[in-house]
């Protein structure tokens, strides 16, 4: 949200002496930022409205305007989505731009877009902080409820499938609507917003926005329970926030999560943690395993609604003021969380084509699979005894498995395909017998820390020309991906692995690195990009970082991959056989980290420096 200044405050600005006007404008600038101050103070005209305006929808105590979009030929009984714009926005800038209009056409639902009026708030913010506009049966909430009733009457909207979402002040008002009318809304989404009743005055609103208000989950939940007297069921809630949002601080994501998990009677420990388009995603489920609350943290993003312009299945929107190209379409994933998509009920088919069932295997084995789907295969995962070995996102699907890391005897392999609708298909089991003929004994493990003195990163042009050693390691860590200077970064880690016995049989190896920060999503640009590890037996040239490390020859390339971070650290999949062979038992082993493809725009990652990386090696002496 840009800011929550009330109409009374702006009237004071308009009529006050010059000195006070200057103070007013400074305060507005503090909360709006430059683009919004130009809109407000210079009186820039709003864009032409693209939807149909509806009048006479009720007593309208909140003095709001009502706009709607109804896809042609939509039958009665369709879902309804209410989308609430942010400050300095309007209904016409929050439909196609955010992807909701396109999704209404694709998934067949009606779209309701309430619009604030300058007479209520000269910055066009919904008044989420005014007591009169945060209670059931009055003010802006009642106006929006009356609009919903009008949509139900005019279009036969399904009363059990009504949802509300919003950005910033609109996100805070979405929380207001879920709290005051939980009997109306089946679900909601809070994008860069705040918890319900975080503030009940203009002065308190600023503190809620930045730095945020820290209450217990029960205290937050009590505010919602007191708003309506409703006993459940409660709306499911999707919460989105950029971790670089300095207008509404990301602490509000945590507080909103605590509020709505408490309302649902569930704890604040995520039941599922993964990454979606490279961004951390958490899901909180009830005792029956049903998702009730989810959170998305958009790393490196400021204040706005994340979109992903393009024509792909999961893409949407167009970038603009407070609508930010983050390579993830929030509206798409919110709609799927609510169950609006109905994309595809068909699981992909997948066949593990190699090795053959019942064969004996040893050493490094190539696993291959074929997969197909009526919409599209997103990835194929290879599993050993139910545990993930690795993933391939591009056909023909394959993975190298080092069977020496597995005990001799019977084992089961599967391939698992996931389509763009997250339907899952699993291959028939392939039974193999591992016969590496090891001498027996208990495997041992050594864990090596990287040598900070020899580590660093090198940046170069897209073709590898003009390499230069990066200078920001002491402050930011080791760089990967494309920086804001247009250069492409690769990092080098050195390990003294001479503690391994000279005749050791290496069974497996993994690399763990720590997360520092990121901008954008280098795993998603281009789509399917991978962070790979090259391995070198000994030092590649000098042991210390040098410009030749950017593209110099190594013992083995792409021996393992690191998936997008879902927490403070990430561990690679198992090194390939070539990667194990590159580990030096008598000296140093150097690992080069790089993205397999150069991002087309600024997308980068900083990983931990110092002795924070760990190379774990399992072996038989």
**Inter-residue contact 614 to 448 (CB < 8 Å):** yes
611 phi, psi to nearest 5 deg? -85, 60
What size, in residues, is the chain? Answer: 621
Neighbours of 21 (CB within 10 A): 14
Number of neighbours of residue 116 by Cβ within 10 angstroms: 28
Q: Is the dihedral of CA 89, 93, 97, 103 positive or negative?
A: positive
- Count CA atoms closer than 13 A to 440's CA, side-chain side: 0
> For the stretch 431-445, what's the b/e string if a residue is b when 16 or more beta carbons lie within 10 angstroms of its beta carbon?
ebebebeeeeeeeee
Helices (H), 79-161: 100-107, 139-155
Alpha carbon distance 251, 41 (integer Å): 30
Closest Cα partner for 498 from 535, 529, 538? Answer: 538
What is the spatial distance between Cα 305 and Cα 98, in angstroms, rounded to a whole number? 7
Bridge partners, 430 (sequence order): 413
CA distance 362 to 368: 16
- Are 604 and 457 a contacting pair, CB within 8 Å? no
Active-site annotation holder among 93, 122, 143, 168: 168
Query: In angstroms, rounded to a whole number, what is the distance separating the alpha carbons of residues 549 and 546?
Result: 6
Active site includes 354?
Answer: no
Asked if 248 and 210 count as a contact pair (C-beta separation under 8 A), the reply is: yes
Q: How many helices (H) and strands (E) does the chain have?
A: 12, 33
Q: How far is CA 85 from CA 90, 115, 167, in A?
A: 6, 7, 6
User: Are 308 and 525 a contacting pair, CB within 8 Å?
Assistant: no
**Buried b / exposed e across 155-179, counting CB within 10 Å, b at 16+?**
bebbeebbbbbbbbbbbbbbbbbbb
Active centre residues (catalytic): 168
């Amino acid at each position: 949200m840009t800011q929550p200044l009330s109409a009374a405050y702006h009237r004071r600005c308009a009529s006050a002496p010059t000195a006070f006007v200057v103070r007013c404008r400074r305060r507005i600038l503090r909360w709006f930022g430059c683009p919004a101050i130009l809109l407000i103070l210079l009186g820039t005209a709003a864009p032409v409205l693209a939807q149909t305006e509806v009048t006479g929808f009720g007593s309208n105590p909140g003095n709001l305007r009502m706009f709607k979009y109804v896809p042609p030929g939509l039958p009665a009984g369709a879902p309804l989505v209410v989308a609430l714009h942010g400050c300095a926005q309007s209904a016409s800038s929050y439909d196609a731009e955010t992807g909701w209009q396109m999704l209404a056409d694709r998934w067949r639902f009606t779209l309701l877009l309430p619009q604030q009026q300058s007479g209520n708030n000269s910055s066009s913010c919904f008044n989420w902080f005014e007591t009169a506009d945060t209670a059931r049966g009055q003010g802006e909430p009642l106006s929006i409820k009356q609009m919903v009733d009008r949509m139900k009457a005019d279009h036969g909207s399904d009363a059990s499938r009504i949802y509300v979402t919003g950005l910033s002040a609109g996100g805070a008002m979405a929380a207001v609507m879920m709290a005051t009318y939980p009997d109306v809304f089946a679900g909601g989404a809070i994008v860069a917003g705040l918890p319900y009743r975080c503030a009940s005055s203009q002065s308190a609103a600023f503190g809620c926005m930045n730095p945020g208000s820290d209450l217990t989950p029960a205290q937050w939940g009590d505010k919602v329970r007191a708003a309506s007297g409703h006993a459940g069921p409660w709306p499911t809630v999707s919460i989105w926030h950029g971790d670089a949002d300095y207008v509404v601080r990301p602490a509000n994501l945590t507080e909103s999560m605590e509020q709505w998990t408490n309302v649902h009677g569930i704890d604040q420990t995520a039941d599922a943690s993964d990454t979606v388009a490279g961004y951390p995603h958490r899901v909180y489920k009830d005792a029956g395993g049903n998702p009730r609350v989810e959170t998305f943290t958009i790393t490196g993003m400021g204040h706005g609604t994340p979109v992903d312009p393009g024509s792909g299945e999961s893409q949407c929107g167009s970038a603009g003021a407070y609508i930010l190209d983050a390579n993830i379409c929030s509206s798409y994933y919110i709609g799927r969380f609510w169950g609006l998509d109905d994309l595809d009920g068909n699981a992909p088919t997948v066949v593990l084509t190699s090795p053959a069932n019942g064969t004996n295997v040893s050493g490094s084995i190539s696993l291959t699979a074929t997969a197909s789907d009526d919409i599209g295969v997103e990835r194929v995962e290879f599993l050993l005894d139910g545990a993930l070995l690795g993933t391939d996102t591009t056909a023909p699907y394959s993975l190298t498995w080092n069977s020496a890391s597995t005990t001799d005897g019977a084992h089961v392999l599967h391939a698992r395909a996931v389509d763009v609708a997250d339907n899952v298909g699993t291959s028939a089991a392939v039974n193999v017998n591992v016969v590496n003929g090891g001498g027996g004994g208990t495997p041992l493990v050594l864990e090596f820390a990287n040598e900070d003195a020899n580590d660093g990163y090198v940046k170069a042009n897209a073709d590898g020309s003009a390499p230069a050693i990066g200078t920001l390691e002491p402050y930011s860590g080791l760089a990967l991906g494309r920086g804001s200077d247009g250069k492409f970064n690769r990092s080098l880690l050195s390990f003294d692995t001479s503690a391994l016995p000279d005749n050791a049989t290496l069974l497996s190896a993994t690399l763990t690195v720590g997360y520092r920060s990121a901008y954008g999503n280098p795993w998603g640009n281009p789509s399917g990009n991978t962070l790979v590890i090259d391995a070198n037996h000994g030092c590649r040239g000098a042991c210390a970082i040098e410009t030749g490390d950017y593209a110099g020859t190594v013992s083995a390339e792409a021996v393992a991959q690191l998936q997008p971070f879902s927490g403070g650290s990430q561990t690679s999949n198992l090194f390939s056989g070539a990667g194990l062979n590159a580990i030096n038992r008598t000296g140093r082993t150097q690992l080069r980290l790089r993205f397999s493809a150069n991002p087309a725009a600024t997308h980068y990652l900083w990983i931990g420096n110092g002795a924070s990386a760990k190379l774990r090696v399992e072996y038989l002496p």
